[in-house]
Amino acid sequence: MGIFWDAISQAVALLSSPSGYVREVIGVTLGVNGLAVLVALLLGIPFGTWLGLTRNRARGILAVIVNTGLFLPPVVVGLFVVMSLSRSGPLGSLGLLYSRSAIVIAEVLLAMPYVTAITMVAIGAVPRELRLQALGLGASRTQALWQVMRDARLALMAAVLAGLGSIMSEVGAAMMVGGNIATTSGNDTRTLTTAIVQETRNGNYATAMAFSLILMSIVFVIVWILTRAQQGRQGRWLRS
């Protein structure tokens, strides 16, 4: 157990006065992951809402594809993105491979199935009569849709958490498409998860532990805020 306590104590010492390297890794992580989860939500929630409201054969096929994406290994996504962005790939002319943009693309592909699938189930669970009743009372299609989403808002928060979790914990695809680059030129692609892997390989357990503590602290704060918001809304709904 001594190795763990030594690593933790050294990690706490490193965090008390973080270096530029540590701050850069944190900045890259927050920027890349924040943008990826935002794009995943902007794409996944509308798509999942459409799937939840649609009743046809195409919907069934798309639902199977979306649910299959829940089991998609990150390395497979990484391989697809690398091949697409490589010089010989269809998007090679964009020059995005081994950049932060490439990581965002890979993480969006990983998070979207979670956001879409949970949204689809949440919207589909709302009684169809609610939307029909709203339309019958003179509400527009947009207003009726908004009412459905309001009723499913607690489950939609779970979609946000699932999408964020798939991104924050991801390491394989990020290393493949981003290259785990740490430079002083502002083109860093090293995130907290890939930094943990790199520092562990180098035997720098204290630094790896410091990054682990930072990552878990960030995750805890985000989850605490979203959970409190979810419980608060649920309490108000029960009281009403």
* Number of neighbouring beta carbons within 10 Å of residue 223: 14
Is 147 in contact with 131 (CB distance < 8 Å)?
yes
The mean pLDDT value for 177-192 works out to 83
- Give the span between the Cα atoms of 237 and 240, in whole angstroms: 5
Summarize pLDDT for 75-92 with one digit per residue, the tens: 999 999 999 999 999 999
Summarize pLDDT for 25-41 with one digit per residue, the tens: 989 999 999 999 999 99
Summarize pLDDT for 188-223 with one digit per residue, the tens: 899 999 999 999 999 888 888 889 989 999 899 988
Go through 123-135 and write b for each residue having 16 or more CB atoms within 10 A of its CB, e for each that does not.
bbebeeeebeebe
Q: What is the CATH number of domain 22-190?
A: 1.10.3720.10
pLDDT beyond 70 at 43: yes
For residue 170 the two structure tokens come to: 């991801």
Percent of the chain at pLDDT > 90 equals 46
Question: Mean of the per-residue pLDDT values for the chain?
Answer: 86
Scanning the structure block, which residue is given the tokens 């706490």? 12
- Give the span between the Cα atoms of 140 and 131, in whole angstroms: 10
Is 171 in contact with 193 (CB distance < 8 Å)?
yes
pLDDT band at 237 (very low <50, low <70, confident <90, very high): very low
- Give the span between the Cα atoms of 117 and 152, in whole angstroms: 13
**Considering only CA atoms, which of 218, 198, 204 is closest in space to residue 7?**
204
| Residues 6+ positions from 11 with CB-CB distance below 8 Å | 206, 207, 209, 210, 212, 213
Residue 204: strand, helix, or coil? coil
pLDDT beyond 60 at 14: yes
Summarize pLDDT for 88-143 with one digit per residue, the tens: 999 999 999 999 999 999 999 999 999 999 999 988 888 777 776 776 777 777 77
- Give the span between the Cα atoms of 143 and 126, in whole angstroms: 15
Residue 33: strand, helix, or coil? helix
Please, what is the Cα angle at 94 between 190 and 114, to 5 degrees? 60
